[in-house]
A and B are shown apart, each in its own frame.
Chain A
Amino acid sequence: MKPAPFHYAAPETEEQTLALLHAHGSEAKLLAGGQSLVPLLSMRLARPSIIIDLNRVKTLDYVREEGEEIRIGAMTRQRNAERSSLVTRRLPLLAETLPFVGHLPIRSRGTVGGSIAHADPSAELPAVLVALGGSVVLRGLEKTRVVRGEDFFVSYLTTALRLDELLTEVRVPVHDRKGTAFLEIARRHGDYALVGVAAVVTMDGNRCAQARLAFTGVGPTPVRIPEVEVLLAGAVLTDAVLADVRTLVADRIDPEDDVHATAQYRKDVAGVLAERALRAAATRAMQPAHGLADQGHHGGET
């Protein structure tokens, strides 16, 4: 079960990579961690004639703070992102989600940028990026674009990345003062989710000032549901409100049947996970560690 023959290049700089992409774009495939691409090659579901291996491009491996964003180099291993103190301190939602991304040996090799560029509709990181309003940096020979997560994911395994562009960086807004939660149901820990949800909640006293939810595994891209977020804005998260959320989520998403679960099961699970994630995120948002005191509005609202 060996891959079909291909030509191989291992550039050492982004410029070399872009030159290769420019010369061979449509025939070439970029190899990052290889945890999705190599199985596709081995099963000969993908037969690119050229593989451009990014693993020698050392400038794409970093995690750094830049104002209110954490910038993660595309080739940062998921396992190293998981170990980064910047991620654990300032990006709690990403830190909570990373252990769900594949099994330990997958994350040792898999990269943050690779998972996002691959855009599997059941992957965790795209949903987190969308829930947090993050963005990606797409570098071409001539110019570099910064594209919001929501505009980046176009459809199943399809993104706004052009053939001659390289995803160089993932930008995630810091959110250590918001309440966040990630939950998923998978057949086995580390497998792709049947359904997953990332929740980001800002509380104003006991009211939910703003909530963003992004689901994975229920559509071609990470899914947000505007009606649910409108319902939650300004609401006290009572059992009744959360029951409405659950019903609305199940009603508005349009998942597909497959061998692992029926569409109806996915709808039901999405509703339940949304409720649980909102409860967890709201609780975390109200914990002292999240800086309620220095935000100065504890109990001050009407």
Chain B
Amino acid sequence: MKRRTTRGKRPRRTHGATPHRASAARGKRTTPRLVDRKEITLRINGTTHVATVDVRTTLVDFIREQVGLTGTHVGCEHGVCGACTILFDREPVRSCLLFAVQADGAEISTVESLGTPEHLHPVQEAFRDHHGLQCGFCTPGFLMTTMALLHDRPAPSEAEIRSALSGNLCRCTGYQGIVEAVLDAAQRLRTQAHS
């Protein structure tokens, strides 16, 4: 079934503009109005987007259907599987548990921010080399959670990796290849940082 989305206004792409909080100028004393739709401005992978969204549109639906970045996958749509994990103001979050309207002013990174098919990101290379994926459905979520983990912990232990990735489900790999990939990715990123 095709999901109904707000198509009223195509997102404009205005490169380089700074996102702003649309409501910042409004008086603090007045009670905010109840709205059904709202204009938002946010940055996704470095590009600023302005769009009007239905307040009940989830962030992942907005990213996929209004912005057209379909690398972020939608699995369970209720916060269990982790396929939709993105970085929201540099923190890993489930984009199915946020509404697009909440991302007004946010800085978002999706799997498209990593590498290209010709030039994979070292974390993607490590996943490929260690068979950290098979069907690939869960992979965008694993990659983005891994990015957040390795930012905080450049040399994680295996136990830390398993704990950090416990919110991402994979039905193909049995996880062993993924854990090995993350250990190796950490090594690759450290080598890259030193060279």
Verify if A3 is at the interface (C-beta below 8 Å from B): yes
CB-contact partner of B28 in A3, A5, A13, under 8 A: A13
B36, A8: Cβ atoms closer than 8 Å: yes
In chain A, positions 6-52 with a C-beta closer than 8 Å to chain B are 6-13, 15-16, 19-20, 23, 34-35, 38-39, 41-43, 50-51
A212 to B28, CA, bound (A): 44
A6 to B61, CA, bound (A): 17
Verify if B67 is at the interface (C-beta below 8 Å from A): no
Verify if A162 is at the interface (C-beta below 8 Å from B): no
Verify if B154 is at the interface (C-beta below 8 Å from A): no
CB-contact partner of A42 in B33, B88, B96, under 8 A: B96
Q: Given contacts A43-B78, A104-B167, A105-B167, is CB(A7)–CB(B35) below 8 Å?
A: yes
Q: Which residues of B contact A104 (CB under 8 A)?
A: 92, 145, 148-149, 163-164, 166-167
Give chain A nearest CB distance to B156 CB in angstroms.
Answer: 12
Q: What 1/0 flags go to B16-54 for Cβ under 8 Å of A?
A: 000001010000111111111010000000000000000
A12, B61: Cβ atoms closer than 8 Å: no
A207 to B138, CA, bound (A): 52
Give chain A nearest CB distance to B174 CB in angstroms.
Answer: 15
CB-contact partner of A7 in B4, B30, B31, B34, under 8 A: B34
Give chain A nearest CB distance to B22 CB in angstroms.
Answer: 10
Verify if A56 is at the interface (C-beta below 8 Å from B): yes
Closest B residue to A45 by CB, please name it.
Answer: B78
A95 to B12, CA, bound (A): 44
A34 to B58, CA, bound (A): 12
Q: Which residues of B contact A6 (CB under 8 A)?
A: 55-56
Verify if B140 is at the interface (C-beta below 8 Å from A): no
Q: Which residues of A contact B31 (CB under 8 A)?
A: 9, 11, 16, 19-20, 23
Q: What 1/0 flags go to A50-61 for Cβ under 8 Å of B?
A: 110101100000
B163, A99: Cβ atoms closer than 8 Å: yes
CB-contact partner of B97 in A20, A35, A99, under 8 A: A35
Closest A residue to B169 by CB, please name it.
Answer: A188
Among A35, A42, A51: residue with most chain B CB under 10 A: A42
Give chain B nearest CB distance to A141 CB in angstroms.
Answer: 12
Q: What 1/0 flags go to A202-228 for Cβ under 8 Å of B?
A: 000000000000000000000000000
Q: Which residues of A contact B55 (CB under 8 A)?
A: 6-8, 51
Q: Which residues of A contact B33 (CB under 8 A)?
A: 9
A10, B32: Cβ atoms closer than 8 Å: yes
B interface with A by C-beta (< 8 Å):
3-4, 21, 23, 28-36, 38, 55-58, 61, 77-79, 82, 85, 88, 91-94, 96-99, 101-102, 145, 148-149, 162-164, 166-168
- Besides the known contacts A9-B32, A108-B88, 7 further A-B residue pairs in the complex with CB atoms under 8 A apart: A1-B77, A2-B58, A12-B23, A16-B28, A38-B99, A104-B145, A108-B93
A interface with B by C-beta (< 8 Å):
1-13, 15-16, 19-20, 23, 34-35, 38-39, 41-43, 50-51, 53, 55-56, 77, 79, 99, 102-106, 108-109, 188-190
